Amino acid sequence: MAKKKVVKFKESVGLDLGTHSIKLVHLRKLHSGFKLLNYEIKPTIPEGLEYTPSDLSPDRYAPVLNGMFKSLKINPKKVKHLVSSIGGDNTSIKQIKTIFLPEEELESALFFEAKKHLPISGSDMLLDYQVLNIEERTNNMNILLAATTKDLLDEHSKILSDAGVAPGIVDIESLAVANSFALNSYVEEGIYIILNLGAHKTNMVIYGPQAKFFSRDIPFGGYSFTREIMKSNNLGFEQAEEYKKEHGIVKEEKEGESSSLLALNIAEKSTAEQIVMEVKRSLRFYVKEAGNSDFRKILLTGGSAKVKGLPLYIEENLNIPVEIYNPFSSLEMPEKFKDKQDPQLALALGLAMRPE
């Protein structure tokens, strides 16, 4: 995110290495905008096995990724512009304000500043930044700080190398989600909340043209919904996945029985309730920090964005309009993809569209 030479490319590959599946997007850069050449989504675990995050090894990625490059007829050694992402506990991003500093002093000063704001050990921290703007009245600088650990970046690079592809630009997930929205949509004034509902967690991003950037991970996702269905309906993993796809969080209506929004009749809070509760908590914090509550819309992306009943449930409980985000809206695309505009590709598209 620091100042770098702009990479000029004709084609790009965006790679979202999710805990449950890999999403790969292949784009061609046009004079204005992008054309979708191809994409693929592949699970990282064999069919029939339960997805259990604690049991998953990074070694599972390379064979799947190799197969994806082959099926899409992409030679990984010839990929010139590859952008992938990392996320989780060992990544952090925060917008800060600091006094104006010349470029030669800025990086070293920001390392010490970052240790105050980002919860990563200083000795293991890899830091990047972007100057968003300089305020005319105060001459203060608004800066976006991003940090990760060397171990996480090394592990990510090894996955790519094992698949025969040279690691390129590595972004943080929440930034890629925001890029997908900012680079691919006409964004009006106000504040937008993006919930990228993955298998293991939900990336929450607050973004607006003039708004303070905010992101956090909420530790609930599609796997949480499936586990609840397994528990409440006494089903195996595969059966619960099918139930989730068919019914979502909308209870199946039986004769003589009224329909209930939540499919799970359990005493503890459901996944949907916990996600809403965490979003509410984050919005209260944001309003206090940024002094702005002009929330226009909640956009849902990720594999669980289409869970039946979830968009309505979030809208009714947060009183903010909710829609499933279409990350393909501004792309030129072949006819065969026109009916397959999957919101779980938003992150990979945001990566592939990254200009530098």
CB 37 within 8 A of CB 17: no
Residue with structure tokens 């509410």? 280
Instruction: State CA 135 to chain mean position distance.
Output: 30
Q: Does the global pTM surpass 0.95?
A: no
Topology of domain 1-89+152-185+329-356, CATH: Nucleotidyltransferase; domain 5 (3.30.420)
pLDDT of 190-235, one tens digit each? 899 999 999 889 999 999 888 899 999 999 999 999 999 999 889 9
Quick check: do 1-89+152-185+329-356 and 186-326 share a fold?
yes
pLDDT tens digits along 310-353: 999 999 999 999 999 988 888 888 888 877 778 899 999 999 98
**DSSP H or E run through 246:** helix 237-247
The residues spanned by each domain of the chain are 1-89+152-185+329-356, 186-326
Span 53-84, pLDDT tens digits: 666 788 889 999 999 999 999 998 888 899 99
Do residues 237 and 50 lie in contact, with contact meaning Cβ atoms separated by under 8 Å?
yes
Q: Return the CA Rg of the chain.
A: 21
Taking residue 161's Cβ as centre, other Cβ atoms within 10 Å add up to 12
Q: Is it true that domain 186-326 has CATH number 3.30.420.40? A: yes
pLDDT at position 70? 93
